[in-house]
Amino acid sequence: MLVGLLLNGPVNIRQRIGDLDRKQRLVPGEFWLVPPGAMFSMSVEEEIETLHIYIREDALDAVASDLGERQGELRLVPSFSAVDPVIEQLGRAAYEAIFDRSEGAALYVDHLARALAAHLLRNYSNRTSTTSMLQAPQIGLNQMQFRRVTSLIEENLAQHLTLADLAKEAGLSSGHFVRLFKISAGMTPYQYIVWRRIERAKRLLAETNISITRVAIICGFADQEHLTRAFTKRVRITPAVFRKHSPNLAVSPETRRLLHDVDRVAEEMWA
């Protein structure tokens, strides 16, 4: 049995499970399920990062027995794509455990595999009426909703935006908005905001001589230390090192407008 979890994206993927074939666009966190004995192939036209988890058929049978099922009666069914927070969390935990060389790590991975097998058998088997081999692709925000939300984020990167603010802009409940946004953007609203703040910081560091402390404030970080932690985690170098190795770029019109707006807001605040 194979569970594939997409770690980057969004990406276009063509998959074949048994006699079924589908081409679709997947986002990070989506998974596909190939039951034991089914033929599987996949082709992509871009870079892709995935996690493949293999569980032996005898291990599945053992978990099914623990669930009170007779051997062979509970069978997994194929799924081309689905979003399941439990599977994503278990998959990412297993991925991190691969690099753990501490005592007990192997036992931890075994527990994760059994938990994953149990969840799949309970939710993606021939006993689950909501599971379909031709499961409909996930649909995210429409273009207007996505444009309104991302524009609101860009215009308020230096401010504190709440989930309720973003959901209201899309005309959705908070829970529904988070699910649809992740499908559209390939990341959660929080991850998207941090990404956009980091990208703005990179531009300011490369194009201006503004102090890193002020860059942090302009980009919505609490202080320079907050920026440095987030920046280093995602870019793998500190803001200071990034600036040092950046080419001397001319200030773009977009950056000029940004700085003008920041100065104008500052003047209004202190007037």
Q: Note the pLDDT tens digit of each residue in 102-134.
A: 656 777 888 888 889 888 888 888 876 444 444
Predicted confidence (pLDDT) per residue in 127-160, tens digit: 764 444 444 455 788 888 999 999 999 999 988 8
Average pLDDT over residues 10-14: 85
Spatial separation of the C-alpha atoms in residues 186 and 16, rounded to whole Å: 23
Average pLDDT over residues 84-99: 83
Average pLDDT over residues 3-8: 87
Span(s) in the chain for CATH 1.10.10.60: 143-270
Per the model's pLDDT, the better-predicted residue between 27 and 39 turns out to be: 39
Spatial separation of the C-alpha atoms in residues 63 and 174, rounded to whole Å: 36
Among 24-33, 127-136, 244-253, the least confident range: 127-136
Predicted confidence (pLDDT) per residue in 182-207, tens digit: 888 878 888 899 999 999 999 999 88
Structure-token pair, residue 215: 């860059």
Average pLDDT over residues 34-62: 88
Q: What is the mean pLDDT of the chain?
A: 82
Residues 6+ apart with CB under 8 A from 195: 187, 234
For 143-270, give the CATH class: mainly alpha
Angle CA 167–168–174, to nearest 5? 35
Predicted confidence (pLDDT) per residue in 216-242, tens digit: 999 999 899 999 999 998 888 999 999
Task: Report whether 239 contacts 201 (CB < 8 A).
Answer: yes
> How far is the CA of 192 from the CAs of 39, 55, 162, 176, 181, in angstroms?
36, 33, 13, 17, 10
* Reported confidence tier of residue 24, pLDDT bands at 50, 70, 90: confident
Answer whether residue 70 shows pLDDT above 90.
Answer: no
**pLDDT above 70 coverage of the chain, percent:** 85
* Reported confidence tier of residue 256, pLDDT bands at 50, 70, 90: low
Query: pLDDT at position 245, please?
Result: 85
